[in-house]
Amino acid sequence: MKILVMIKQVPDTATQVKIGPDGKAIDTAGITWIVSPYDEYALEEGLRIKEKRGQGEVVAVALGPDRVKEALRSCLAMGADRAIHLNDPAWERADTLMTARALAAAIKQEAPALALFGRQAIDDDMGAVGAAVAELLGWPCASWIMEESVDEAGKAIRVGRQVEGGLELFDLPLPAVVSAQKGLNEPRYPTLKGIMGAKKKEIKDVKAADLGLTAEAPALSVIKLETLPPRPPGRIIQGEAADAAKELVRALREDAKAI
């Protein structure tokens, strides 16, 4: 069973984001890049499906500039068999739809049984690409899954989604698109052997033309990025505990209107 896992390289969660000079993009200087955490759940699940079935192939796919190779290499170190890098200046300003078109075309070429995504990338938090790809491919799609099992024949997948007060189960015929929610699994660390072996695995470079795509303008454009206003300082209520508690209740009720 062939599984494609779409991953995005994003700034490390600890990054202090700075807005770039044009006011429309973040300043990427000095950023540490990581694989978006939800995509790691997707990759881990792909590896587990393969391991459970005792055969198959897990391919990591990413769209982005040269630096994205590093993220793909860490997927290879975790255990992906090979990687595909959609790397073309034509995608430099790719929005959600362009990204989905490119990924859908790559998925079509590879014809996997399953396309795994993270529920959203933690940089712009759009959470639209997985579903858009499913739509473009005409494949069934289940988002934010918490558990899954592929049937023995590799013809269908049962997924569980957390909903208010319970778990919702779906059966999807394969091929299908699913996106991973936190809690699906605990991603493994790459082993040192995996790291050393990653260099020997293939990262295939793919251009827009290779997918039969022509240049298009993004449908979505960023108008402006703004930093959040600085958080007002906290307030420490002085005095005896009983009095302070009274004052806290009053402040929550009257000043903050929180209770």
**Contact footprint for another protein (CB under 8 A):** 70, 73-74, 77, 189-193, 195-199
Report how far Cα 73 is from the mean position of its chain's Cα atoms.
16
Measured from the CB atom, is 71 or 105 closer to another protein? 71
Q: Closest separation between CB of residue 34 and another protein, Å?
A: 9
Q: Closest separation between CB of residue 188 and another protein, Å?
A: 9
Query: For residue 100, how many other CB atoms are within 10 A of its CB?
Result: 23
SS3 172: strand
Q: Closest separation between CB of residue 77 and another protein, Å?
A: 6
Measured from the CB atom, is 65 or 197 closer to another protein? 197
Measured from the CB atom, is 73 or 85 closer to another protein? 73
On the question of a cis peptide bond just before residue 175, with omega within 30 degrees of 0, the verdict is yes
Which CA distances in Å does 156 have to 3, 62, 138, 149? 13, 25, 16, 9
Q: Closest separation between CB of residue 259 and another protein, Å?
A: 30
Q: Closest separation between CB of residue 79 and another protein, Å?
A: 13
Among candidate residues 24, 36, 31, the one with its CA nearest the CA of residue 93:
24
Q: Which residues contact 218 (CB under 8 A, 6 or more apart)?
A: 93, 94, 95, 97, 98
CA distance linking residue 150 with residue 166, whole number of Å: 21
Q: Closest separation between CB of residue 189 and another protein, Å?
A: 5
**Buried-exposed string 201-236: b where 16+ CB fall within 10 A, e elsewhere:** bebeebebeebebeeeeeeeeeeeeeeeeeeeeeee
Report how far Cα 2 is from the mean position of its chain's Cα atoms.
19
Residue keyed to tokens 């590879």 = 110
Q: Closest separation between CB of residue 198 and another protein, Å?
A: 8
Measured from the CB atom, is 199 or 250 closer to another protein? 199
Measured from the CB atom, is 74 or 99 closer to another protein? 74
Measured from the CB atom, is 82 or 108 closer to another protein? 82
Q: Which amino acid is at 160?
A: G
Query: For residue 152, how many other CB atoms are within 10 A of its CB?
Result: 8
Measured from the CB atom, is 199 or 207 closer to another protein? 199
